[in-house]
Structure 1
């Protein structure tokens, strides 16, 4: 697959994918614990995931630079 996204948007694409996957998994796990496997599980999961992703995406974009700065102070560089 040929790349198509300019490098300057990499951090946004990273945040979108990371927040989407993490919120998908965490909301699914929380919904499963709450409801168990049932007929309403898929729709309830979707209803929990989409608002969670809408919150997680901007949070990841804001928090990621802070985390990088903190890690640069505690990680040994070769």
Structure 2
């Protein structure tokens, strides 16, 4: 299997992390709103995809700032 160059690691990480977490959040919100019903999976996907489309690019943009904030609270390894 071919692998991506290391320079793509942060973007792939953000893609997968935002995909999974936004799917979980969207699914919980939809379930709480409509309950267990026919078509629940479709509703979850319809809610999730636009949210992911917003969250992923934002994660790429804000990640450097978040890393700077985190570095202020974490002691570097020696």
TM-score (norm: length of structure 2) = 0.91
Q: Distance in 1 between matches of 2:76 and 2:9?
A: 23
CA shift at 1:77, angstroms?
2.0
CA shift at 1:40, angstroms?
2.3
Residue-pair matches, total? 77
Q: Does 1:49 align with 2:33?
A: no
Query: Who is 1:14 aligned against?
Result: 13
The answer for unaligned runs of 5 or more in structure 2 is none
CA shift at 1:3, angstroms?
6.0
TM-score (norm: length of structure 1) = 0.91
Query: Who is 1:70 aligned against?
Result: 69
4+ residue stretches of structure 1 with deviation over 6 A?
A: none
Q: Deviations over 1:47-77 (max 9, x none)?
A: 0011011001101101111110001111122
CA RMSD of aligned residues (A): 1.2
